[in-house]
Amino acid sequence: MKRCAVWFGLFALILTGCGDGGGFGQRTRTAIAIRQLGSADANTQDKAIQTLAKIGVEAVPDLIDVLDDEKPQVRRGAAIVLGGIGPPAAAAVPKLKACVADGEADVRMWAASALVSVAATDAEVVALVLKLLEDESAQVRSATAHWIRKARASVDVVVRALAETLRDPDQHVRHAALRSLRGLGPQARDAAPAVIGLLGAEDPGLFSDALWVLSEIGGDAQAARAVLEAALASQDEAVRYEAAHFLAERFRSDAEACVPALLAALRQRHWADARRALVSLASVGPQAAAAAPAILESLQHEQWEMRQAAAVALGAIGPAAKEAIPALTKALSDDDEDVRAAAAEAIKKIETR
């Protein structure tokens, strides 16, 4: 996985650095760099990839020639560079298609990446790459789920395939599929039922990712709400907090059921987590009146961000927070101007409603 991260970084460099080379002896430079792709030394391989990226389009014919090289590191390196070159490397598509069936997982993975980069609008290519979502290697499935978001053909087919991938046994693959669905935005709306199904998971990370996806793609709000309200009783504290925050921020004044979980979140040791609870309680507004005493305590917090968020939340509760007026009046002399402004606005809201 660590080497994979390095290659992802190199791929990003390639995307911004292709075609910077040129000049006398370029064919020689290309031949040397391709030979270095076969080195047993990882650093030498990486430098060769960067060199070929700078040479750019002129290296494409030679890179195509070595896509069936006997050394897997050469095939992989060639695929990485071709993917970075993008559409100008279209002549490589036939051989890259063959590499999708390569016996080496790394080669299959980078060939798929290259195909989506080079031929993103080719429905046949997209269909071929999608087959790797069922590859025996979890790393290949995860990378495919990540890269396929770049496809510009058969988006509806891509969305359905990613929705199916949410049932993959490997958590990294599921997370990658979720991130791609989020990147597709409203185009991925048809995947919402599958995403909502993940809200029953006890994995806080997966639960949180699913919430983020729903916020981007939309879907059946009431179905999501029912699952989230059930999650308020989860055995996992982090799941309860995430469900409460989302309910408060999405359903606002109709989210009274989430107040107890938000109160628990307000007691978190790290003030940034507690501040998030205050922001969510402010979203609930008057329905969060039961939380007013706890919010009031936060007006004394050493962090000005906490004091400011507490004042805003009390103002959002309105007249039901009238017991906070003395403390808010005192906050008008706070050292921080944002706290003073929030306190003044809160007093106005509490007294004029």
Contacts of 25 (CB under 8 A, 6+ apart): none
All domains in the chain, ordered by first residue: 1-119 (1.25.10.10), 259-353 (1.25.10.10)
Distance CA 45, CA 348 (A): 66
Stretches in the chain below the pLDDT threshold 50: 20-22, 24
Distance CA 17, CA 54 (A): 6
Note whether 20 and 54 are within 8 A (CB). Answer: yes
* pLDDT tens column, 38-84: 999 999 999 999 999 999 999 999 999 999 999 999 999 999 999 99
> Residue 350 — φ and ψ, nearest 5°?
-70, -40
- What element of type H or E holds 50? helix 42-55
Cα R_g (the chain), whole angstroms: 27
Distance CA 310, CA 124 (A): 55
Distance CA 156, CA 154 (A): 5
Has this prediction a pTM greater than 0.75? no
pLDDT at 132 (0 to 100): 97
Q: Which long-range contacts (CB under 8 A, 24 or more apart) does 120-127 make?
A: 120/150, 120/151, 120/152, 120/153, 121/152, 121/153, 122/93, 122/153, 123/153, 123/154, 125/93, 125/97, 125/153, 126/151, 126/153, 126/154, 126/157, 126/158, 127/154, 127/157
* pLDDT tens column, 22-42: 454 678 899 999 999 999 999
pLDDT at 263 (0 to 100): 86
